[in-house]
Chain A
Amino acid sequence: MAEWPASPSVIGKRIPRLDGLLKASGKAKYPSDVHPKGLLFGAMLYSPHAHAKVKSIDTKTAEKLPGVKAVLVIAGPGTTLRYHGDDIAAVAAETEEQARDAIRAIKIEYDVLPHVVTEAQSMAEGAPEVFKGGNVKKGRGQTKGKPEDAMASAAATIEATYTVPMITHVCLETHGLTVGLEGEKKATAWASTQNVYGIAGDLAQALELDRGDVTVYTEFMGGGFGSKFNADVWGTTAAKLSKMAGGRPVKMFLDREQEHCAAGNRPSATAHIKMGADREGKIVSVIAEGHSTGGVGNGTNMILPYVYRGVPHYSVGQANALTNRGGSRAMRAPNHPQSCILTEAAVDDLAEKLGMDPLEFRLKNLDPGSPMTPIYQAEIPIGAELIGWREKRKPRGKTGTGPIRTGLGMALHTWGGGGNPGKQVSCTIHPDGSVDIKTATQDIGTGARTILAMIAAEILGLQPTEINSLIGNSSYPPGQPSGGSTTTPTMAPPCYDAVTKARDALFKKVASAFNNARPEDLSLKQGQLWAGGEPVASWKEACRKLGTSPISVTGEFVDGLSSTGVGGCQFAEVSVDLETGEVKVKKIVAIQDSGLILDLLTWESQVYGGVIMGLNYGLFEEVVMDPTSGRMLNPDMEWYKLAGASDIPEIVVRAYSPPDEKGRQVIGVGEPPTISTAAAIGNAVSNAIGVRVTEWPMSPRNVLNALATASREGRA
Chain B
Amino acid sequence: MCFFGGFAAEKNTPLFFLRPPEAASKRTSYFEHVPNSNKMKKELKYIGKAARKLDGKERVTGQAVYGHDIELPGMLHATILRTKYPCAEILSIDTSKAMALEGVECIITANDIDVNNISYKRDHPILKKGTVNCERDEIAAVAARTKEIADKAVQLIEVKYKVKQGIFDPFEALLESAPRINEFGKGQEQFGNKNIAEAFHYEHGDLETEKAKSKVIIKRRYTLPRVTHTCMATSNITAEYSNLNGRLTLWSSTQVPFLYQRDVAHALKMDPSKIRIIQPVIGGGFGSKLDMLPFEPICALLAMKSGKPVQLLYSREEEFIASPTRQAMVIDLTTGASENGKFTFREVDIITDNGAYTSWGATTPFVMMQTFSSLYQIPACKFVSRAVYTNNPFAGSFRGYGNPQATFSLERNIDVMAEELGMDKAEIRLLNANYKGEVTGQGLHYKSCGAAPALETVIEKSQYHKKARAPKKGRYRRGIGLASMLHVGGGAKIYRSDGCGTTLKLDDYGYLTIITGSNEIGQGSETVLAMIAMEELGIERDKIKVINSDTDVKPWDVGVHASRTSFVAGNSMLGAIKLLKEKLTKKASELLDVAACDFVYENGMMRFNEKEIKIDKVVREMHFTPPHELCEVNYFYEPPSQFQDKQFKGDVSASYAFASQAIEVEVDTATGVVHVLDAYVSQDVGRVLNPIGLQGQIEGGLATGIGYALTEEMIYEQGYLKNPNFHGYKLLTTTDMPGVHFYPIESGDEEGPYGAKGASEAPLIPTAAAIANAVANAIGVQFFSLPVTAEKVLLALKEKQKTILVH
Whether chain B is bound by chain A comes out as no
